[in-house]
Each structure stands twice: as structure tokens, then as C-alpha cells.
Structure 1
Amino acid sequence: MKVLAPISRLEEVDMLVSSGAEEFYVGFIPYEWVTSFTSGIWMNRRAPQASIPSFEEFASLVDRAHTYGVEVFMTLNAPYYVEVQYPILLEIVHRALQAGTDGFIVSDIGLMIAIKDRFPDATIHVSSLATPINSSSIHLYRELGASRIVFPRSLSLHEMKEIIDEGGRELEYEIFILNDGCIYEEGFCFTTHNQVGAFCSTTNWEYQFMSSKGKQLNFHEQTALGRHLKDYEDYVWYTHSCGCSVSNHGIPLGPCGLCALPDIYRLGIDSLKIVGREADSYRKLASVQLVSSIVKSVRAGMEDEEVKAKAKRIRKTPEHCQSGYMCYYR
């Protein structure tokens, strides 16, 4: 059960490793991609500023991480790619392998096949964007040569256990543990969080309550629907990291699975993903320290209830924890 941390700068390696990072995932977007397809066509599931633009810096980051024995995985997890993009992508994979990259997080099945065909020994991690939500999908990805499955946020721990038991324990499994959510099933969403922002993260709508027959609802019906809408607005706010905010104590707010770590540990999950390649260095640092602290307690055999109490105590925002909206695995 390793702590998988986001990283986007060489200067962050030492800081994050010393704080508890045990694996890294990183984006790389070369100049050739931007000039060929523009910055509006994302090469991975984050805007270009969340990725390293220089291959020299990327290679140095891999080298630096390896001095600590920390593996580095490259994100190639756009929902899909078109044929004309494959030559650039495969050249990037080739250069990344030469630099010692330990694996590739991929969502597009065609790219998985292309990578394994050209580089049979390359390690493939199936992105949550590939929607591995049942045992049949796990069997498929295993046949395509995948080594690790990244479970989508929408699955419960019980569902994950059923999939792992049926899909096979020879694969590695990864789950989300901190920061950011998606109110839909991310693998079925083909929009992008571009300059205009994510349409799913706003609830500033103009609307009118009407019945299915076009009649206005009565007072009690409008009141009930109003409460329901307020609940939905709260859910969206929490899912999107409480407005991308931090607590007064500097702890990132938003989706969190820390209280479930004892169950996650018993489930045999291999990697705990902290979201936030686009975040500033401080947010990454605080996130890694938070997750690492609870992971160490679980490894040391701390009782389940004590783990939950410690996680909530470190967060120091009991009102958010009690809401239930921040829990990945409630």
C-alpha cells in the first residue's frame, strides 16, 4: 500500500519523498504536441501547465526519484487519441523508456495495444478513465498486458473486492485516496476542464420548477425540490475540493478516503493515489504528509477506530467530515 504522489517539477522530488511519497505520477507534454495539436488538445487529463514541458527535466526527475528507489509513471490518459497522434505518442513512450520511466498510465485501449506491440516490456497501468468497473473489463485489460488497474472513484470497497476476487490477484490495484472527485463516471465523460472551466462544477443555473405536464409545482413540492437541489449543490462543492480550498490549518479540503484505510489495507490495494498534478507545491506537500501519516499508523497495526479518530483529528474540520460528502468510501 504505497503513497502515489502527483509531481510536476524536478524541484518537488526531494520534498515529497522526504514527506512520505513512495511513487510518482507525472505528465509530459513536449513542444511538438502543442505545435501539432494546440494546447487546447490535452495529451493527458490535465492542462499543459500541470505537465513538464522539457524532456531533459523529465529525465532528470526520473533519475532523481530513482536515487530514492521511487518509481515514476507517465500519464498518457486522455479519454482517447486519434490515429495521427499515435506516432508522437509512441516516440514519447520510446524516449521515456530510455529515460527509465517505470510505467505508463493509459486510458485509450488502442494506445495500450500500440505500446505493447512496439515495446512488449513496457508496464501499463489502466487509468480509471478506461472504466475498469467489473471483472470482465479486468480480464480484458489483463489480456492486453496491463500490470495495474486504477479503480474509478465511483466503486465501493465491496465492489472492488468482488472485482479483485474474480479478476485476479496477480494484478496490482490502485485507488484514489485524497483530493478531487467527479460527480459523474469520469470514464464516460468526454468533456475537458478547459479555460471556460468544468460545466459540472457549477450550480449557478437559471431554472424553474415544473411538473412533467408543464404545470407549476405547488409550494410543498417546490420546497422539497429546493432542499434536494441544495443537497446537490453541497455535494458538488465538496466533490470539487470545497472550492479548491484548504482549511485554516493548511490541510487540503475535499474528497478523502483516510478513514477507510484499514479496510483498504486488508483489501490488498497496492497504491493510494493523491490527485493534484496541477496543484501548487505546498498543496502536494500537505497532501502527502497527511496520507503518509495515516498509512504509517495502519501499517503499525493501529485499531480501526483510532485510525479514523487520528485522520479527523489531523484534518481539524469535523464539520466537513461529519457531512459525509467528503468521503470517497462511506
Structure 2
Amino acid sequence: MNILAPVSSVKEAERLIAHGADELYCGIGLGALKNKPGNTQREIWINRRESGNANIPDLESLSLLVDFAHAQGKKVYLTLNQPGYAQDLYEEILAFAREIKRSCKVDAFIVADPGLIRMLIEKEPDIVIHVSSLAGVLNSSAVLFFKKLGVKRIVFPRYLEAKTLKKIIDRAGEDLEYEVFILNDGCMFEESHCHVSHQFGGAFCHNPAWRYKLIPPEEGGALETWKLRSLKISGETFERNVGDLKRWQWIGIRNSGGYFGVKYPLGMCGLCTLPEYRDMGITSLKIVGREASLRKKVKSVELLKKVLAYQSEGHMPDEVRDYARTNKGARILCESGYMCYER
């Protein structure tokens, strides 16, 4: 299984490859791609991250990064993974993809919009498409739909259980590549169906300090009295569930405030599922966080490389899981389940 790491500069690529990354993925911040004439001041987000530290700044930098990675025998994938694009942007994105294909030679595009996928493959048959997790491929019918379009890889969303993934892959076939999330960054909902904007200081749903309360019914009458009595019982359950939600938000979604364990980053994790991923034929293990610090990216690659090496020595699944928890450096949090993609 390959280690797929996020990258936002050539310098990062050097460090990540040196520590064991087999593949890299990135976005590009493109002031050059604007909306149609007459509205040229509004920058178009061509991927799921705004321009800034999460993206390669320009085509020249992207070309340098790809050349470096290829010289090391590694691959680079570029995100065009907004869940959907306005139809009048398709031709601009097509021209942009052609320019990247010509000048930068990325190995694949990560795309979510089915219409854009279809157009890219029809217009440029030799282009390689990986279906983004933003497409919401949650069952075998979705895989078969994209397979018919001609894609090469499926990036599964977070939180799909291993037994569900196995059923999907068994039906869809081994002639596709499959990719799963392995470390860092959870999401409150199903990301592919969420239209929350992240540009106003972070998604609102990531805030564990939010307060929640039940609204009681108006008093009076037998029905209202029964409702109030039930509400007291429901309130106790409600408070327990809210507490559970907030702990998950802090530990998993917020990565425990960005803290590290003894050595490695805290946050969402799928290391315990590596034996199952190996057996079902997963191609790549995705480390999340294009916007993360280089230290976090490097340490994530290092941790995954270490556990994969241990597994390849022939250790049993239970031994691999124990080794992963020990090296994650947060055994109590691991046992809580709040950091598990397979919670």
C-alpha cells in the first residue's frame, strides 16, 4: 500500500519523500483562473481549499514539484475537487487541465464533479482521473457509475467501515485503484454532502464550545404534562449525547487542539485497520491536511511508514494494532474510540 501525503511546496516534497511518501497530492491557488469577463475580480476556488498555504502558488512551482517527484520515482496528483462547478466554467477548467497536462505533467487529477469528469475524459481520453471523496462514493453502484465513465481510482469518504469497503470492492472489481483516509482531520458530517463554507474562520460545526439545549413545550394540559416528564428523561440522554459529541469534536475533529502525543500528531486515525486494508487490496493510504504544518505532515508519514514496515514483517493483525496504538502515543485516547475513523 502506498503512502499518499499532502504537499504545498517543493521543499515539503523533499522532506516527505525522504521520510517515505510514495505519492503526493496538492492543490493550486490560481488567480489566473477567473470567472467570465465582467466578473474578473472574483477568484474561483478550483479545489476544496482557498488560495494560501494549502496550495501550490502557481504553475511554475507545480512544474518544479512534479519534476522533482518524478526524478525520485514518485507520483503527483492535483485536486480539482469542488463537489460541483458552474457549467460555464467547464471550458476554462478544461483549458487549464490541458495546460497542466502539457507543462506540468501531473500523474492524475482528483475530481468530484461527475460532469467535469465526463468532459475531461471525453476531451482528453488519456487523462487520468481519481474520483475525490467529495463525490460521495458510498456504495458499489456509485463505484460502478464512475468506473463506466473511465476513472482509474476511487477515493472513499471517511468513516466507511472495513466490512462495507470490502463488499463494495468485491462487487466493483480489482481493476480499479482504491484509496482510503488513514491519518488526521475528521469531519462532522459527510463531507461530500456538506455545503458549509470554510472561508469565514473555519467551519461552524467544528466548535466544541457551542452550547445546546432542549426547548420545553408550553405547560398546561395532560399532553404537555406528559411531554415535560418525558423531557426530563430525554434531557439526561440529550446531555450525555452532547457531551459525547463535544469530546469527539475536540479529540478527533479538532485533533485535540493540534497537540502531539509522545511523538506523533493526535487526531483521526485508521492505523488499526491496516491489516483489513491490505487484505482487501487498498492501493493508497491518504494522510489528510494540505493546510497542516510541515512537521505534522512529516510525522504522519513517519508514523504510517513505521507501522506498515512492522506489518510487512509478518506480524499478526492484533500485534499490528497494538504496535500502532503504542506508537501513536495516546493509548487511552485510542481506546476511547474518539480518534477512530471506524468508531
TM-score bucket (shorter structure): over 0.9
1:156 aligns with 2:142: no
Compute the displacement of 1:262 (Å).
Answer: 1.0
What is the TM-score normalised by the length of structure 1? Answer: 0.94
Q: Which amino acid aligns with 1:42?
A: W
1:44 aligns with 2:47: yes
Moved more, 125-134 or 206-215: 206-215
1:97-125 deviation line (CA, Å, top 9, x unaligned)? 12211001000011101111211000000
* Contact preservation (8 Å) 1:5, 1:23: yes
Residue number in structure 2 paired with 1:261: 274
Alignment partner of 1:102 out of 89, 107, 116: 107
**Correspondences of 1:124-143 after superposition (within 5 Å):** 124-143=129-148
CA contact (8 A) 1:27 1:75 kept: yes
Bigger shift: residues 165-174 or 197-206: 197-206
- Of 237, 241, 247 in structure 2, the residue corresponding to residue 234 of structure 1 is 247
CA distance in 1, matches of 2:88, 2:116: 12
Mapped partners of 1:155, 1:37: distance in 2 = 40
Deviations, residues 274-325 of structure 1 (Å, cap 9, x unaligned): 0011111111111110111111122222221221121111121112111111
Q: How far apart in 2 are the matches of 1:37 and 1:24?
A: 31
How far apart, CA to CA, are the structure 2 residues paired with 1:212 and 1:158?
43
* Aligned length in residues: 329
- Counterpart of 1:281 in structure 2 is 294
TM-score, normalization by structure 2: 0.90
CA RMSD of aligned residues (A): 1.9
- Aligned residue identity for 1:86: Y
Distance 1:243 1:33 in 2: 37
Q: Is the 8 A contact 1:107 1:129 kept in 2?
A: yes
- Rounded to whole Å, the distance in 2 between the matches of 1:65 and 1:195 is 34
> What one-letter code is carried by the residue in structure 1 that aligns with 2:78?
M
Question: Would the aligned equivalents of 1:128 and 1:187 in 2 still touch at CA under 8 Å?
Answer: yes
Show the counterpart of 1:20: 20
- Tell me, in whole angstroms, the C-alpha distance in 1 between the residues paired with 2:59 and 2:205: 34
Please give the secondary structure, in 1, of the residue aligned with 2:10: coil
AA of the residue aligned to 1:71? K
Q: Secondary structure at the match of 2:277?
A: helix
Query: Which is higher, the Rg of structure 1 or of structure 2?
Result: 2
Q: Extract unaligned runs of 5+ from structure 1.
A: none
Preserved contact between residue 79 and residue 111 of structure 2 (Cα < 8 Å)? yes
Report matched runs for 1:126-275 at 5 Å: 126-211=131-216, 216=228, 219-275=232-288
- Aligned in 2, Cα 1:149/1:252: closer, same or farther, shift over 3 Å? same
Name the SS of the counterpart of 1:73 in structure 2: strand
* Change in CA separation of 1:212 and 1:110 when aligned onto 2, cut-off 3 Å: farther
- Deviation for aligned residue 1:34: 5.6
How far apart, CA to CA, are the structure 1 residues paired with 2:233 and 2:105?
A: 63
Unaligned runs of 5+ in 2: 219-223
Amino acid at match of 1:64: F
Q: Deviations over 1:177-223 (max 9, x none)?
A: 00011121111111221123101112444443235777656655433
Secondary structure at the residue paired with 1:31?
A: coil
Q: Which letter does structure 2 place at the counterpart of 1:245?
A: G
SS in 2 for 1:284: helix
- Is the 1:19–1:288 Cα contact (8 Å) retained in structure 2? yes
Measure the CA separation in 2 of the matches of 1:247 and 1:70. 28
* Partner AA of 2:50 in structure 1: A
Q: Which moved more, 1:188-197 or 1:164-173?
A: 188-197
Deviates more, 1:258-267 or 1:210-219: 210-219
